[in-house]
């Protein structure tokens, strides 16, 4: 059975967790392959609302084996805090697997992240301050701490000591902060080892064997395409590969194993943090989308920047990720808007541009070219088939499908777990 990848097709917060949960009853493994606790997935089951930051959302589905892959950076305090919270609510977390090659977020990564961001002032990137970027930087600089290092105290101490040589110079001489002591860091990391030990595995091997055995494995991306370190709005991006390609490198599974790639896209657009956003609204419409859509960050609580649907971004995501399907979420938020603008192109320096500009400067100055679509007033939250939607809502979805370069296979019409319309089987071969 081929593997399936789910990625965000905008700047994040599109509803990836819900899409994962929709498919989870068919799936035996759910894998998180990038990012850390810098993004949140919200899943609503009955009257219960679950906000997950580090764990894959498939952990909420009985029988599914959740996996944190090698491409993830892990704050162990957050990991166990999240597990304890789920355990307290009766969720079985005993099946969790953690890659031995995943990198660890240490206290000094968090300190450097927060201190550096404050130092940047008006040039700040909009980091969540959770140590994600500095951890990935250490990974690339080959001075990172991996999960497997926690089980050899001597190696762990040597690695922490080596990493702190430069960081303490930065903290004390540039930022005028106190130096971080090696022993304090080592002691904290070692405090997690015994609880962590049963979870740690060669996850790449286990996933490979599962796929070869015909089991369905779902790869759940953190962040989103436009936050990808290579293909996003650099430098206002995350520090990992949030595209479908990251599923291969972040899990150890070869690209030939992936068959279906599902992109999650909102019926409008949101973003958290700094960076260009062509359709961003600063008027009553932006406030309406924010209020109606409850657009506040799951992880940070920050109000999200809101704007209309951006079709060039959707096409870009479809191309970069090789999407086979879109899941369109939060269509219900648009109910009551008389005319709904959709960005179909940009104007850059007086010229019409059909696709996302490769130049970040051009993208920063891009002005949206809108096409207007008639809205609807009917409550669509109880619709469960496409034909039940008002005609104007159907037309809006069909128009987005034509503009976005990939079929729309499911439509979210409310926050509840079952508030979704399925148009096509996303697990079928294409």
Question: What six digits make up the tokens of 196?
Answer: 């962590």
**CA–CA distances in Å: residue 108 to residues 34, 163, 164, 165:** 21, 9, 8, 12
Of 13, 113, 149, 325, the active-site residue reads 13
With respect to residue 162, please indicate whether it lies within any of the assigned structural domains: yes
DSSP 8-class letter at 334: G
Same domain assignment for residues 85 and 234: yes
Instruction: Calculate what percentage of the chain has a pLDDT beyond 90.
Output: 73
Specify the 3-state DSSP secondary structure of 373. strand
Question: What six digits make up the tokens of 25?
Answer: 């009853």
Give the CATH number for residue 272: 3.90.170.10
Q: Which of these three, 142, 172, 194, is where a domain ends?
A: 194
Same domain assignment for residues 249 and 381: no
With respect to residue 136, please indicate whether it lies within any of the assigned structural domains: yes
**How much is the pLDDT for 390?**
98
The more confident residue out of 43 and 23 is: 23
pLDDT tens-digit map of 26-83: 889 999 999 988 766 666 666 677 778 888 877 888 889 999 999 999 999 999 999 9
- Residue 262: closest CA among 149, 423, 114: 423
Same domain assignment for residues 169 and 311: no
The number of folded domains in the chain is 3
With respect to residue 430, please indicate whether it lies within any of the assigned structural domains: no
Which DSSP string corresponds to 221-262?
-SS-GGG-TTTSSTTSS-SS--STHHHHHTTT--GGGEEEEE
Element (H, E) at 395: helix 391-404
Same domain assignment for residues 294 and 415: yes
Dihedral over alpha carbons 30, 33, 36, 39 (to 10 degrees):
-70
Tell me the pTM.
0.90
DSSP 8-class letter at 146: B
Give the CATH number for residue 13: 3.40.440.10
Q: Which of these three, 134, 167, 194, is where a domain ends?
A: 194
Q: What is the rounded distance in angstroms from the CA atom of residue 312 to the CA atom of residue 335?
A: 23
**How much is the pLDDT for 57?**
78
Same domain assignment for residues 81 and 108: no
Of 41, 53, 103, 208, the active-site residue reads 41
Pairing status of strand 339-348 against strand 367-374:
antiparallel
Q: Which domain holds residue 253?
A: 3-98+201-262
Same domain assignment for residues 322 and 416: yes
pLDDT tens-digit map of 150-197: 999 999 999 999 999 989 898 888 888 889 999 999 999 999 999 999
* Whether residue 13 lies in the annotated active site: yes
With respect to residue 186, please indicate whether it lies within any of the assigned structural domains: yes
Alpha helix (H) residue ranges in 89-201: 107-120, 132-140, 153-169, 182-190, 193-196
Same domain assignment for residues 141 and 172: yes
Q: What is the rounded distance in angstroms from the CA atom of residue 408 to the CA atom of residue 387?
A: 15
* Whether residue 294 lies in the annotated active site: no
Q: Which of these three, 194, 229, 246, is where a domain ends?
A: 194
Tell whether omega for the bond before 115 is within 30 degrees of 0, i.e. cis: no
């Amino acid at each position: 059975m081929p593997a399936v990848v789910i990625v965000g097709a905008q700047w994040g917060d599109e509803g990836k967790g819900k899409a994962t949960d929709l498919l989870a009853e068919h799936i035996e493994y759910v894998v998180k392959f990038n990012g850390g606790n810098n993004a949140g997935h919200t899943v609503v089951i009955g009257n219960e609302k679950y906000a997950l930051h580090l764990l894959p959302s498939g952990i909420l589905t009985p029988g599914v084996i959740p996996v944190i892959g090698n491409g993830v950076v892990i704050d162990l305090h957050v990991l166990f805090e999240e597990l304890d919270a789920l355990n307290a609510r009766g969720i079985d977390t005993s099946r969790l697997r953690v890659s031995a090659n995943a990198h660890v977020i240490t206290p000094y990564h968090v300190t450097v992240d927060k201190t550096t961001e404050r130092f940047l002032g008006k040039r700040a990137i909009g980091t969540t301050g959770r140590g994600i970027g500095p951890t990935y930087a250490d990974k690339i600089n080959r001075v990172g701490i991996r999960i497997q290092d926690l089980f050899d105290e001597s190696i762990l101490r040597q690695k922490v000591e080596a990493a702190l040589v430069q960081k303490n110079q930065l903290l004390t001489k540039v930022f005028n902060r106190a130096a971080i002591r090696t022993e304090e860091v080592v002691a904290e990391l070692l405090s997690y080892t015994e609880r962590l030990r049963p979870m740690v595995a060669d996850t790449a091997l286990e996933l490979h064997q599962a796929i070869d055995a015909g089991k369905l494995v779902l790869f759940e991306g953190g962040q989103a395409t436009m936050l990808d370190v290579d293909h996003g709005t650099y430098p206002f991006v995350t520090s990992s590969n949030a595209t479908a390609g990251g599923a291969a490198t972040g899990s150890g599974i070869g690209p030939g194993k992936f068959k279906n790639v599902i992109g999650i896209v909102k019926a409008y657009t949101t973003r958290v943090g700094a960076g260009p956003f062509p359709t961003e609204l600063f008027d009553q419409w932006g406030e309406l989308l924010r209020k109606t859509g409850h657009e506040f960050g799951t992880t940070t609580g920050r109000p999200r920047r809101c704007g209309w649907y951006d079709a060039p971004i959707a096409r870009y995501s479809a191309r970069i990720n090789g999407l086979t399907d879109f899941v369109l979420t939060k269509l219900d938020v648009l109910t009551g808007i008389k005319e709904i603008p959709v960005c179909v192109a940009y104007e850059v320096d007086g010229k019409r541009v059909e696709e996302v500009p490769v130049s970040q400067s051009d993208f920063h100055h891009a002005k949206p070219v809108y096409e207007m679509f008639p809205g609807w007033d009917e409550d669509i939250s109880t619709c469960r088939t496409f034909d039940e939607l008002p005609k104007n809502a159907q037309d809006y979805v069909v128009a987005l499908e034509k503009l976005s370069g990939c079929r729309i296979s499911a439509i979210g019409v409310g926050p509840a777990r079952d508030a979704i319309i399925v148009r096509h089987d996303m697990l079928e071969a294409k």
